[in-house]
Structures are given as structure tokens and as C-alpha cells.
Amino acid sequence: MEKITKQELEFYGQLVEKRNRLEKRIRDKEKKLTSIRSPQITNDPLGGERSDFTDAVIEIEDLRAELHELDNYCDFARERNKRHIALVKDGDDRDILECRYIKLLTWEESAEELHRSQSAIEKRFKALFLHRSPVLITEEAV
């Protein structure tokens, strides 16, 4: 038997949120860098010193490397969730868990996707973890 906690399942969503914030930060820096009115574009380096423009380009490249690494972590966490959720025997429980921890849907979106009421989905979800304490126990695939 394998065990995974609700907190471990939620980790993928937290990584995706962090990734999205980092991606927005990169876009904002690129927009600032390429703006015609940006002082970095008109800043001319003197005496061979690095310009603000060069520093900004290096910072963006560092952020892109961080984003790439975060993408790898996201892929790993998503695959771990998929592997554990696939082992849940009950199809309804599995569908709810997939919506929440793989597709990262809200309760409303999950209900719409599963053609059930939001309250029914939430009750089933809460019961899933209540019965199994904070640990979701999955059986090894036969």
C-alpha cells in the first residue's frame, strides 16, 4: 500500500502558482526592458561598465533558468499525483481527485466537469479524507 497526504497532493498546485508568478515577473521585466521609453534602452555604458540594460538581460535569463527548473518540479509533482490518484479504486473519488489535484480546477469547475452539484463534490471530497485521516491510502495496481 502507498500513502500520500492531502498536503502532498496540494504541493503541485502550489508549485504551479509559484511558476505562474515567476512567469508574470519575467513578462513584466521583458516588457519594461523592451519599452521604447525605458531608461535601460537609452542608457549608454561608459568606460566599459555594464549597463542597466545588460544587468536586466542577465536577470531575465536567470529568471528563465529558474522557471525551467520549476517546470521540471511541476512535471514531477503532477506525475506523482497522477500515479497515486490512478490507484484509487472508486471512480467517483478518482474523478474528484483528478479535478482538484491534476487539473487544478475550482470546486465550481469540478462540479461542471463531473456534471454534479458543487456541494455533492465537496461532501464526497471531505469524506474521502475524513475516512482516511489526512492520508489518502491507495492500493497498488494489480
For the chain, the straight-line distance linking the first and the last C-alpha, in angstroms and rounded, comes to 11
Residue pair 94/88 in contact by the 8 Å Cβ criterion: yes
Phi and psi at residue 44, to the nearest 5°? -100, 120
- What Cα–Cα distance (Å) separates residue 7 from each residue in 68, 93, 129? 24, 17, 11
Write down the domain spans for the chain: 2-138
Q: State the pLDDT at residue 106.
A: 97
Q: State the pLDDT at residue 98.
A: 97
1 or 31, higher pLDDT: 31
Alpha helices in the chain (DSSP H): 6-34, 39-42, 52-86, 91-101, 107-114, 118-131
pLDDT exceeds cutoff 80 at 71: yes
pLDDT exceeds cutoff 50 at 137: yes
Q: State the pLDDT at residue 113.
A: 97
Task: Report how far residue 97's alpha carbon sits from residue 87's, in angstroms, rounded to the nearest whole number.
Answer: 11
Model confidence at 84, in pLDDT bands (50, 70, 90)? very high
Task: Report how far residue 48's alpha carbon sits from residue 46's, in angstroms, rounded to the nearest whole number.
Answer: 6
pLDDT 10s digits, 11-59: 999 999 999 999 999 999 999 887 755 554 555 544 445 578 888 899 9
Residue pair 63/26 in contact by the 8 Å Cβ criterion: yes
Q: State the pLDDT at residue 139.
A: 61
Could you give the percent of the chain with pLDDT greater than 90? 63
Q: State the pLDDT at residue 47.
A: 47
Q: Classify 105 as helix, strand or coil.
A: coil
23 or 141, higher pLDDT: 23
pLDDT exceeds cutoff 70 at 142: no
CA 136, distance to chain mean position in Å, is 20
